[in-house]
Chains A and B, each alone.
Chain A
Amino acid sequence: RKEVEQDPGPFNVPEGATVAFNCTYSNSASQSFFWYRQDCRKEPKLLMSVYSSGNEDGRFTAQLNRASQYISLLIRDSKLSDSATYLCVVNIWNQGGKLIFGQGTELSVKP
């Protein structure tokens, strides 16, 4: 089993739609979580950290479920500019703070 697994994509949605991505992790020692965004042929960039109580940043909401070992990212009112690959990242503290990436979920927002 992979340490971090994401919904396979691609997700093709119309502008204005709400879309959600899920990510599961296998190591219960994982302690911190992030969502990164990667545009085509560019480097990944931090979108948001994921806090235990859930957190929101504008149209983006991240949630963490430790019992089920998954995190989610919800994007409301999708924009064309949201088209990118979204990467789930898990920090495994008992492995020296090892940061493991999922394989990414591609989102394409159409007019």
Chain B
Amino acid sequence: EAGVAQSPRYKIIEKRQSVAFWCNPISGHATLYWYQQILGQGPKLLIQFQNNGVVDDSQLPKDRFSAERLKGVDSTLKIQPAKLEDSAVYLCASSRGQGANDNSPLHFGNGTRLTVT
């Protein structure tokens, strides 16, 4: 089974620039997550999709972050404009989960390490 694919692996941008990350989940996985992990902290959920609908985006800074999952498969996360505090690893994960009470584990991609200077 192919894993969760993310690109790029690394990105360095200046503040106020824009950046986009891409994620391809494991085939057949209904639920897709984007997490932000700042150094020394646990992953923080930004947005959760089930198929192509948003389940939770309460912690997504919507003035600068946006995400979409067209056709319920691939997803992109965009930051525009970036701030210094956006420097972090952005992790995409997927699970089979079809509902709130599903206990399917998360499978993570390698992440994108973003540095904003």
Q: Mark A17-41, 1 if CB is under 8 A from B, else 0.
A: 0000000000000011010100000
Among A34, A43, A101, the one with the most B-chain Cβ atoms within 10 Å of its Cβ is A43
Chain B residues with Cβ under 8 A from A36's Cβ? 106
CA distance A87 to B35 in the complex (A): 14
**How many B residues, CB 8 Å from partner?**
25
Interface of A is mostly: strand
**How many A residues, CB 8 Å from partner?**
27
A98 touches B55 (CB 8 A): yes
- Asked if A44 lies at the interface with its beta carbon under 8 angstroms from chain B, I say yes
B45 touches A100 (CB 8 A): yes
Chain B nearest CB from A29 CB (Å) reads: 10
Given the interface contacts A96-B48, A96-B56, A98-B56, does A104 sit within 8 Å of B42 by beta carbon? yes
Among A34, A87, A97, A104, the one with the most B-chain Cβ atoms within 10 Å of its Cβ is A97
A-B pairs with the 3 shortest C-beta distances? Answer: A43-B108, A101-B42, A97-B100
Interfacial residues, chain B to chain A (CB-CB below 8 A): 31, 33, 35, 41-45, 48, 50, 55-56, 91, 97, 99-103, 105-106, 108-111
